[in-house]
Amino acid sequence: MWNKRFKEIDLSQSLIFLILFALLFIFILYPLIRILHVAFTEESHFSFAHFINFFERSLFKESFLNSLMAGLMAVFFGSLISLPLAFFTIKYDFRGRTLIQTLGVLPLVLPPYVGAVALQLILGRSGMLNLLLLKWFGTSIPFMEGLKGVILVQTLHYFPFIFLNASASLANVDPSLEEAAENMGAHGWSLFRKVTLPLMMPGYVAGALLVFIKVIDDLATPLILNYTKMLAPQAYLRVTTIGIEDKAGYVICVIMVILSFLSLWAAMKFLSLSEYAMVQRGGTGIPISKRIGGIKLMLVGAFSIFVLGISLLPHLGIFLLSFAKAWSFSILPRAYTLNHYIEIFYRSPHFVKNTLLYCLLSAGIGVLLGSFIAFLLIRGRIFGKGLLDAVAMMPLAIPGVVLATGYLRVFHGTPLPLIHQPLTSLWIILVIAYTARRLPYTLRACYAAIQQIHISLEEAALNLGANRRRTFFKITFPMMAGGLIAGGLLAFITSSVELSSTIMLVPRMEYGPLSYGIYIYMQSAVGRGPGAALGVVAILLVAIGTYLVNKVFAGGSGTAFKL
Amino acid sequence: MIQATEVQLIDLRKSFGEVEAVKGVTLTIERGDFFTFLGPSGCGKTTILRMIAGFTRPDTGKILFDGEEVNEIPPWKRNVGMVFQNYALWPHLSVFENVAFGLKERNFPKSVIREKTLKALAMVDLEGMERRRPSELSGGQQQRVALARTLVIEPRLLLLDEPLSNLDAKLRIQMRHELVRIQKNLKITTLYVTHDQEEALILSTRIAVMSKGKVLQIGTPKEIYENPKSREVADFVGTSNFFLGKVVRIREDWIEMKTEEGFPLITRKEEGMNPILGANFLLNIRPESIRLAYPNQGSLEENRIEGVVRTSAYLGSSVQYEVEIEGGKKVKVNVVNPRKRALFEEGERVLLTFSAEDIVPIPLK
């Protein structure tokens, strides 16, 4: 019987594996394969012709260079902000240190495209600052024009990824390593350059590459700022205006995927180095922070206030806009109103409702999938674990535009049996896209939740008379519940502001979620108020979710946003 | 009341991939034994315990409880209690809920569960702790919760997997006494796994010394220590000095050997020993059996070798010397209770003396 049970478990596990793999194949791998197939065939032959075409056309070449440039610049300016902040808050001890650490994460709460709108109000051609400049000096500065504006918005939104990863790896540097260097005579700048910096490098590089991937992926910010000479907007425009038969769209998709995969691969490489560097025994393990005061403290304070002040400007702008009756060509709104909130909660409540429905569904499905996959990876007695893991983690490097294009390509022309409609004209396609895009995060949360349960905890239950099913429900499940909830919350908050795949996949206006609503409202001057109100809702959703995640994880702020 | 169980292992084998963890173990553990598997890590002792608990399936061989094969019985029906090396207390349950778990699985009425649980906690001196979480207890307390959780179901066997290895030295000694007391009270057959020879000698009624998946010798602590049947056993249980000897003369109750260095050594001729001239023996002398004297002093003991003290380490209750004898071999000597005696200096010439009984000859093929 025992013997038979063993064999049964193997069989049923293999069955679950096959079902899971089939799902991942249909919704992750196959769309990608189809995109590759289209991009690399010319009259049903393998060919690089489309790629050669791509780089011969000046618009595409410019878009490619602009995307690279935006990624590099966002990383560069993000590092200028993050590295000093990380160093100050980890290595120095002063009042307000925790405040800086908290405020430094806040930009993540604001979806970048919402921030783009707000920044236009403040830094745009007729925004707050330029109006003041005109009044006082008779001149204005074009902060938000063209690529500059995109880079500015993306830098301000994404720099926390660098800040968090750099802080974490700086905090992880074993103080005894620095003490050893001091003992040998190194101090100050030379200590930092020769010992501290190299040790924190892997975490920093991982954060920087993450920013690069996000910038490549970001479709909404350039669209909102009406700057389309970048890869993601070009792919979007080709597919939505010329149609899914247009080859150029696919070529752009492939280039985006290649860029993301390369960055992700490099990030993983650096992270594995970081583990190697940190495995140290002995030492106190607590970083030593120096108390500072006087001039030094004032400089640190001034820098932090300046940088964080700018990065929090969009929050302020969007908040004001959501209550503004009219706000153009004036420094502050002239009159205030609650109408925009009435609009989004009473007149068109479907945006908020849809978001709750889609994101809760997709978080639930994601956790379910994630825990099954994680369980198979950790405790499974099956073949093909590596493959399952690899495919499930793939969406990390598939930009939203690419996944959406793949879905359109695969599902658009084929009506489903019984309902006689293609999958892409049902709202469920959004749930599927969100689930697929967040799977790496939910999977990792579930994996961590299961991994922390030492096998002997389950064996102890078996030993005391509980069979496998009861052991799972009384021991395994309650112990992993916290991790699963955190994973679900994380999926929920990130999906609720997801726009790059949403724009392409929303089948009908009334199926649109909150992020789509913001995008649509922001297209017209009258819509900006309700759009901003939706933006405030999005900020609150993400802020509450992030707070809860950190509560559940109890691992300090920002566990959720690290690679 | 716990019914003590007899355990038989018959030609038990287990491989993990290429690695043969257990290579054919056959032995019987009698009712009420405190039976210890002693060996270095990786010798297969934990694998045997896990096979008895049912977590690991033997490749071949049988496990019998009171003569009945249990190979096909899943772990939750075997009714053997196991205490894990890391205690495996469930962090999401209180101390009470941890201990009551097995009783709930057995569907006892609530009042009985409460009574038995409290009694078990009292047995391990943890009254009043039942509402705490495992994380709020010290290592020693966690250990005792694990023990109470296991004993409360009145298992037919108690399996202990290095249960003391995570405790600090003082607590370890205290828990040893606790374990012996509880085991004697309950008269439960106990299987103990450890790599600590001192622990094994103190706790066990019988010991199986294991190495590389095989049982080298089974016996009482006294037999194992005083009469090791192989060099490995002598080496692993305590420290020893070894000489290679050849039989040169046989008398009625003693044998004269000549070591490879050329010293004559007299050993007792034990009953049943029928050595022939020229046979090879490994001669095993424990460091505490050797006495030290000045070279000109007399001694009643049969065996005397001269040497020079090379190192000496004062441990309070004893002094450990290393004495180099002619030919360069170093002999370990323990002088117990050095309080009133003079210490020998490094470089000083000394006489090693020991009696014929103190040599344990191990025949070599």
Residue A383 phi, psi (nearest 5)? -90, 160
Give the model's pLDDT for residue A279: 40
**For chain A, which ranges sit under pLDDT 70?**
1-10, 175-176, 181, 185, 273-289, 327-331, 552-563
Distances (CA, A) of A366 to A38, A492, B158: 29, 10, 43
Give the model's pLDDT for residue A295: 80
Give the model's pLDDT for residue A287: 56
Distances (CA, A) of A513 to A321, A357, A520: 21, 9, 11
Strand order in the sheet with B280-285: B264-268, B254-259, B241-250, B280-285, B359-363
Answer whether B215's CB lies under 8 Å from B182's CB. Answer: no
Give the model's pLDDT for residue A558: 43
Give the model's pLDDT for residue B340: 72
Query: What is the token pair recorded at A320?
Result: 């004001």
* B80–chain A nearest CA distance, Å: 7
Contact A461 B101 (CB under 8 A): yes
Smallest Cβ distance to B73: which of A2, A463, A465? A2
Contact A463 B76 (CB under 8 A): yes
Q: Residues of B near A (CB-CB distance < 8 A)?
A: 53-55, 57, 71-77, 79-82, 84-86, 88, 90-92, 101-102, 105-106, 149-150, 153
A470 touches chain B (CB under 8 A): yes
Contact B92 A479 (CB under 8 A): yes
pLDDT digits (tens, 9 = 90+) for A445-472: 888 888 878 888 999 999 998 888 888 8
Q: Give the type of residue at B48.
A: I
Give the model's pLDDT for residue A273: 65
In chain B, where does DSSP find H-type helix? 45-53, 95-105, 110-123, 139-151, 169-186, 197-203, 221-226, 231-236
* A467–chain B nearest CA distance, Å: 6
The span from the CA of B79 to the CA of B54, in Å, is 10
* B153–chain A nearest CA distance, Å: 7
The span from the CA of A428 to the CA of A437, in Å, is 14
Calculate ∠ Cα B119-B121-B124, nearest 5°: 110
* B137–chain A nearest CA distance, Å: 17
* Percent helix / strand / coil, chain A, rounded to 5: 75, 5, 20
The span from the CA of B28 to the CA of B209, in Å, is 14
Give the model's pLDDT for residue A555: 46
Give the model's pLDDT for residue A61: 85
Give the model's pLDDT for residue A554: 52
Residue B275, classified by CB atoms within 10 Å of its CB into exposed (0-12), middle (13-18) or buried (19+), is: middle
Contact B82 A467 (CB under 8 A): no
Q: Which residue has the higher pLDDT, B246 or A134?
A: B246
Contact A456 B57 (CB under 8 A): no
Residues of A in contact with B76 (CB under 8 A): 462-467, 471
For residue B73, give the chain A residue with the closest CA: A2
Contact B105 A463 (CB under 8 A): no
For residue B71, give the chain A residue with the closest CA: A2
For residue A476, give the chain B residue with the closest CA: B90
Q: What is the residue-wise DSSP string for A397-461?
A: GS-HHHHHHHHHHHHTT-BPTTT-SBGGGSTHHHHHHHHHHHHHHHHHHHHHHHHTS-HHHHHHH
Residues of B in contact with A457 (CB under 8 A): 88, 90
Question: What is the value of ipTM here, to two decimals?
Answer: 0.78
Smallest Cβ distance to B53: which of A457, A463, A466? A463
No. of H helices and E strands in chain A? 26, 6
Question: Of the candidates A479, A471, A480, which has an alpha carbon nearest to the alpha carbon of residue A446?
Answer: A480
* A447–chain B nearest CA distance, Å: 19
Smallest Cβ distance to A460: which of B57, B88, B92? B88
Residues of B in contact with A1 (CB under 8 A): 72, 74
Average pLDDT, chain B: 89
Distances (CA, A) of A209 to A130, A169, A180, B167: 33, 15, 31, 45
> Does B1 have pLDDT greater than 60?
no
Query: What is the token pair recorded at A430?
Result: 């959004």
Q: What is the residue-wise DSSP string for A262-305?
A: HHHHHHHHHHHHHHHHH---SS--SPP-EE--HHHHHHHHHHHH
Among A318-327, B17-26, B318-327, whose mean pLDDT is lowest?
Answer: A318-327
Give the model's pLDDT for residue A283: 41
Give the model's pLDDT for residue A329: 63
Q: Which residue has the higher pLDDT, A3 or B22?
A: B22
* B8–chain A nearest CA distance, Å: 20
Of how many residues is chain B composed?
A: 365
pLDDT digits (tens, 9 = 90+) for B98-151: 999 999 888 899 999 999 999 999 888 888 888 998 888 988 899 899 999 998
Optimal mutation site among A464, A469, A479, interface B, most CBs of chain B within 10 A = A464
The whole-number average pLDDT for the span B281-308 is 88
The span from the CA of A54 to the CA of B75, in Å, is 64
